[in-house]
């Protein structure tokens, strides 16, 4: 039982499940009305969980030294040595291989390649870059925006405007989302040498301004599926209202520079993504 808990912590299953929800909603956007397959949605869920879990696990393998320095990661299995580096690496590689195979075999080469590319960019580009530059957030936003695009491509077998718009929406959303988290955890990140807020000054007015600016961009990109006829007016209204709610919290953060306002923006962003993407699907129906 302890090993199962360690594996769940290594794969960060709660976070991975949120990623997979985004992929399944992207799949719902891509399939024709009446064509939604529960079996395919389950296979997408399993494949997505395995690939995302592999990314999270390899991230922990690479960052075990940094994780040992931060309070929020001090109880991870590799830090506590309840799981060996070999066990974690083998589990990650196996999960990544099986997950990629499921996506490739079920939905075609393009979906499998997108899953594999997401894993590669997260582990080989974003993870090491975190130690050197806050631009890691920009790099990490690419694999972070793959899930809804991957789900849409899984439904259609091809890339196009639809998956591109879903990618753009989730790409821009990640900046206020991640920067609000980085604001709250800035001191803990600093213990490991991570400086992930957009300004060199950390929790300063310039970081606050950039968070407001990118929250505004996120609001605009959330409306693009409606602008291009991919979704209807009700989802546009939902995206506008929740986007304005996020923007309100971002403006308050820029004014106060307070962690409490960053935490409010973080929770608003957590709500925004699944609700707006679900609204896209329901509005299509």
> Which structural domain, as residue segments, surrounds residue 254?
161-285
CA 279 to CA 196: how far, in whole Å? Answer: 31
Q: 144 with 182, same domain?
A: no
Q: How confident is the model at residue 36 (pLDDT cuts 50, 70, 90)?
A: confident
Alpha helices in 63-108 (DSSP H): 64-67, 77-80, 85-107
204 and 274 share one domain = yes
CATH code of residue 65: 1.10.357.140
> In sequence order, which residues have a C-beta less than 8 Å from that of residue 49 and are 6 or more positions away?
11, 13, 16, 17, 20, 99
pLDDT of residue 6: 86
Which DSSP letter does residue 258 get?
Answer: -
Instruction: State the pLDDT confidence band at 15, using cuts at 50, 70 and 90.
Output: confident
Based on the fold, state whether residues 107 and 224 are members of the same structural domain.
no
Last residue of a domain, one of 159, 181, 207: 159
Give the pLDDT mean for 213-228.
97
Boundary (domain end) residue, out of 97, 125, 159: 159
pLDDT digits (tens, 9 = 90+) for 51-73: 999 999 999 999 999 999 999 99
Decide: 216 and 209 in contact? Cβ < 8 Å.
Answer: no
Please compute the mean of the pLDDT values over residues 21-48 and round it to a whole number.
Answer: 93
Average pLDDT for the chain = 95
The confidence score (pLDDT) of residue 25 equals 96
Burial group, residue 200, by CB count within 10 angstroms (0-12, 13-18, 19+)? exposed
Q: Provide the CA 147 distance to its chain's centre, in angstroms.
A: 8
Q: What's the number of domains the chain is made of?
A: 2
Q: Is the pLDDT of residue 2 over 80?
A: no
Q: Is the pLDDT reported for residue 285 higher than 80?
A: no
pLDDT in tens, 231-275: 999 999 999 999 999 999 999 999 999 999 999 999 999 999 999
């Amino acid at each position: 039982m302890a090993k199962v808990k360690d594996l769940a912590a290594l794969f960060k299953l709660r976070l991975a499940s949120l990623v997979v929800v985004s992929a399944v909603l992207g799949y719902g956007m891509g399939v024709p009305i009446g064509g939604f397959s529960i079996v395919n949605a389950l296979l997408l869920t399993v494949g997505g969980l395995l690939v995302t879990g592999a990314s999270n696990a390899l991230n922990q393998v690479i960052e075990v030294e940094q994780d040992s320095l931060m309070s929020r990661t001090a109880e991870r299995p590799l830090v506590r040595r309840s799981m060996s580096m070999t066990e974690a690496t083998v589990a990650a590689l196996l999960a990544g291989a099986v997950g990629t195979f499921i996506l490739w075999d079920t939905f075609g080469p393009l979906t499998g390649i997108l899953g594999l590319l997401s894993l590669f960019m997260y582990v080989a580009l974003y993870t090491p870059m975190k130690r050197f530059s806050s631009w890691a957030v920009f790099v990490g936003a690419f694999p972070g925006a793959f899930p809804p695009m991957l789900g849409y491509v899984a439904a259609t077998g091809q890339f196009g405007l639809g998956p591109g718009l879903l990618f753009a929406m989730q790409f821009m959303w990640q900046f206020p989302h991640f920067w609000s988290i980085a604001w709250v955890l800035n001191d803990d990140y600093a213990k490991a040498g991570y400086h992930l807020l957009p300004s060199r000054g950390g929790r300063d007015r310039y970081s606050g301004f950039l968070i407001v600016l990118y929250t505004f961009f996120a609001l605009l990109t959330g409306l693009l599926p409606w602008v291009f006829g991919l979704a209807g007016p009700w989802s546009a209204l939902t995206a506008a209202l929740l986007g304005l709610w996020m923007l309100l919290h971002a403006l308050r953060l820029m004014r106060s520079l307070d962690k409490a306002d960053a935490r409010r923006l973080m929770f608003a962003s957590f709500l925004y993504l699944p609700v707006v993407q679900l609204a896209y699907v329901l509005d299509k129906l």
